[in-house]
């Protein structure tokens, strides 16, 4: 029996998977970084979360807090204040182009989540993303503004060396700077002080200097996002089991048996509810994660139906003796599929009642609960689709009541 891991060990495993970068996916035609393929590969490596939800988790961790910071000292009062590097540069009047490479939609999304759209809208910065060749994009920027004085800042030594190799071709490329976020001699504070000093030495005003800044590792500390809040959030999701990974039930092959009609509507993650949970998951207590998980699982489960009449005695044997093939090629019995991925079971009703009890709610009276129960004929042993609406509403109400407690804090 596998030893149960503690939260620290779970975080360590997840952090190592992300750090290895074996999950990076690339477009086979252009060889450019592909965020969708990367999410798919990382999801498979983690094995407890689907790609869509994984993307939501990572997005939820990109906030303005991911921006690199500088400490500004007032020369008159010597008072210190900390603010994002990008904002300090804008306030000092530098022209700025964000220069990045990768999946253009994902790079753009990170830019927006970091809260930088307002600076773009007011004309303080421009955003430029290359799908593959960053240096060619740089050449285009330099060619388009031959009279500007450019300084290029990147966190990768290889990129800085490539910039240095073309510097003799461009008189308007005056410096390149290799930023290292964890090096006191080359971090954002050091860069900011160096920039003001060199600008003065050259006899230039900040308005005469055009900065070309990499996004990842210069404007934003994206490694920190992946290794800290993303890891912590994923560990909590894994430990609590709050989100079911329905991926292997997305394409189920049902048995073809003469005389029996089977249909299976696949489970569907409620991304709207998952997104809402992720906004506050760090604050949700373990006590409340349990009823949320039960209610959300019910809402997301699929629907397995057959052509047997109500309590047909052959149903149980049929479900136990016939197999289905899941999306990953594994096989399970129909009975197991019904247990895990179909909400048309009376056990689902009992689970919702347990979730309601665990959450210690009283938004339904006993009479109202009894009325819900009367909608189901217990001798039947399972729901039919027409029974579901009040129970779906009941499950949504349980989740909503819990989440609103935290959202209003």
Residues 284 and 343 both lie in one domain: yes
Q: How many CB atoms lie within 10 A of CB 28?
A: 9
Q: In angstroms, rounded to a whole number, what is the distance separating the alpha carbons of residues 215 and 231?
A: 21
Confidence of residue 1 (pLDDT cuts 50, 70, 90): very low
> How are beta strands 209-213 and 149-154 bridged, if at all?
parallel
First to last CA, the chain: 41
Task: Please determine, for residue 345, whether its predicted confidence score (pLDDT) is greater than 80.
Answer: no
- pLDDT of amino acid 351: 76
Same domain, 180 and 265: no
| pLDDT above 50 for 380 | no
Same domain for 80 and 58: no
Identify whether 74 is part of a domain: yes
Do 98 and 146 belong to one domain?
A: yes
pTM: 0.89
Q: Are residues 387 and 257 in the same domain?
A: yes
User: Is 267 part of any domain?
Assistant: yes
Residue 237 in domain:
no
Residue 29 and residue 117 in one domain: no
Beta carbons within 8 Å of 144's beta carbon, 6+ residues apart: none
| Residue 230, domain member (yes or no) | no
Say if residue 115 is in the same domain as residue 22.
no
Which distant-in-sequence residues (6+ apart) come within 8 Å of 32 by Cβ?
26, 102, 103, 131, 132
User: 138, 192, 194: which is closest to 170 by C-alpha?
Assistant: 138
Assigned domain for 236 exists:
no
Q: Are residues 24 and 45 in the same domain?
A: yes
Six token digits for residue 269: 């993650």
User: What is the Cα Rg of the chain in Å?
Assistant: 28
Number of structural domains in the chain: 3
DSSP 47-92: -SS-HHHHHHHHHHH-SGGGB-EEEEE-TTT--EEEEEHHHHHHHT
Average pLDDT over residues 204-228: 96
Q: Which segment of 225-229, 316-320, 367-371 scores lowest on mean pLDDT?
A: 367-371
Collect all residues with Cβ–Cβ distance below 8 Å to 188 and sequence separation of at least 6: 68, 69, 70, 85, 179, 181
- Percent share of the chain, pLDDT over 90: 71
Evaluate whether 308 touches 315 at the Cβ level (below 8 Å).
yes
Q: Within this chain, do residues 118 and 14 fall inside the same structural domain, yes or no? A: no
Q: Is residue 282 part of a domain?
A: yes
Domain boundary among 173, 193, 213: 213
Residue 348 has pLDDT above 60, yes or no: yes
Same domain, 251 and 375: yes
Domain range for 19: 7-62
Asked if residue 258 belongs to a domain, the reply is: yes
- The verdict on residue 228 lying in a domain is no
Tell me: do 131 and 144 sit in the same domain.
yes
Residue 13 has pLDDT above 50, yes or no: yes
Q: How confident is the model at residue 346 (pLDDT cuts 50, 70, 90)?
A: low
Q: Would the pLDDT of 347 be above 70?
A: no
**Residue 20 contacts by C-beta under 8 Å, 6 or more apart in sequence?**
none
84-112 pLDDT tens trace: 999 999 999 999 999 999 899 999 999 99
Question: Do 339 and 267 fall within a single domain?
Answer: yes
- Three-state DSSP class for residue 180: coil
């Amino acid at each position: 029996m596998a030893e149960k891991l503690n939260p620290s060990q779970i975080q360590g495993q997840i952090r190592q998977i992300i750090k290895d970068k074996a999950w990076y996916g690339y477009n086979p035609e252009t060889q450019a970084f592909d965020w969708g393929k990367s999410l798919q590969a990382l999801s498979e490596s983690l094995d407890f979360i689907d790609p869509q939800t994984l993307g939501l988790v990572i997005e939820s961790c990109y906030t303005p807090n991911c921006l690199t910071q500088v400490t500004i000292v007032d020369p008159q009062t010597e008072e210190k204040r900390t603010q994002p590097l990008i904002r300090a540069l804008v306030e000092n009047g530098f022209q700025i182009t964000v220069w990045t490479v990768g999946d253009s939609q994902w790079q753009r999304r990170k830019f927006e989540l970091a809260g930088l759209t307002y600076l773009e809208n007011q004309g303080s910065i421009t955003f430029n993303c290359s799908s593959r060749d960053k240096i060619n994009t740089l050449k285009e920027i330099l060619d388009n503004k031959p009279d500007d004085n450019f300084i290029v800042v990147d966190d990768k030594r290889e990129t800085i060396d490539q910039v240095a190799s073309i510097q003799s071709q461009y008189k308007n490329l005056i410096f390149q700077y290799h930023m290292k976020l964890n090096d006191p001699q080359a971090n954002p504070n050091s860069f900011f002080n160096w920039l003001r000093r060199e600008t003065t030495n050259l006899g230039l005003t900040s308005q005469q200097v055009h900065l070309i800044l990499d996004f990842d590792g210069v404007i934003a500390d994206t490694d920190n996002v992946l290794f800290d809040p993303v890891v912590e959030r994923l560990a909590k999701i894994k430990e609590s089991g709050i989100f079911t990974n329905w991926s292997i039930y997305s394409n189920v092959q049902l048995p073809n048996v003469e005389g029996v009609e089977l249909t299976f509507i696949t489970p569907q993650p409620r991304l709207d509810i998952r997104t809402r949970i992720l906004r506050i998951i760090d604050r949700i207590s373990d006590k409340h994660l349990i009823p949320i998980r039960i209610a959300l699982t019910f809402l997301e489960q699929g629907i397995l139906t057959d052509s047997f009449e109500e309590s047909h005695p052959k149903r149980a044997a049929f479900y136990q003796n016939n197999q289905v093939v899941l999306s990953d090629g594994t096989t399970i019995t129909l009975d197991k599929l019904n247990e895990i991925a179909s909400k048309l079971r009376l056990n689902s009703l009992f689970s919702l009642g347990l979730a309601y009890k665990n959450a210690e709610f009283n938004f339904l009276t006993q009479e109202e609960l009894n009325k819900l129960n009367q909608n189901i004929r217990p001798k039947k042993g399972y729901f039919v689709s027409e029974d579901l609406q009040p129970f779906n509403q009941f499950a949504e109400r349980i989740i909503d009541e819990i989440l609103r407690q935290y959202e209003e804090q």
